[in-house]
A = this chain, B = another copy of it.
Amino acid sequence: MKSLARWSVEEEELVACCGSTKFAKQMTALSPFSHLNHAVEAARDIWFNKIDVCGWLEAFSAHPQIGQSPSSSHGSETSAQWSKGEQSTAMKSATSTTLQELAEWNAQYKLKFGFVFLICASGRSTAEILAELKRRYSNRPVVELEIAAQEQMKITELRLAKLFSAKSSPAAATEY
């Protein structure tokens, strides 16, 4: 892995990786990072050990529903572009029927758990995402909260890698 002597990150960039303001502030306080791995390790420690439940819910609320386009109410512009890229496989495999079913299950999920269904969608088809949503729907709310937090961390790691890549090579910044 390519090493950068000092990799500085701004709070705004970190909010695009994970929409918890506490997370972004605590990560910024540890910046600059020497490697992507250094940033990822710090992010895991902060996210799982130091961010309270309200911070987790804040980060979840920065995501659009799977199958829906990100709107201005969901996170930053960078976050919206990344979200679109992460859902590209799902969108290619979607039909109006599967999208309709996904929208209905999303609504049921949100009614039961109080937050949006969160999954690291990169490389997953709509059918896979729908099957996972139905499987996870039977979980207890606190179990589902932790699974959603794990999915958020996978998304955060992918986005930190994109951010790191963009900083290493500015031309890569548009490769979502």
Contacts and interface: CB of A to CB of B under 8 A. Distances in A.
Interface string A34-73: 0000000000000011111111110000000000000000
Contacts of A49: 140-141
A114 interface: yes
A16 interface: no
Interface residues of A, number: 20
A144 to B, nearest CB: 9
Contact of A52 (B141, B146, B149): B141
Contacts of A48: 140
Interface string A66-82: 00000000000000000
Main DSSP-derived SS at the A contact region? helix
Contacts of A113: 52-53
Nearest to A143: B146
A121 interface: no
A171 interface: no
A145 interface: yes
A55 to B, nearest CB: 8
Interface string A113-147: 11100000000000000000000000011100110
A113 B50 CA distance: 8
A113 to B, nearest CB: 5
Contacts of A114: 52-55
Contacts of A53: 53, 57, 113-115, 141-142, 145
Interface of A: 48-57, 112-115, 140-142, 145-146, 149
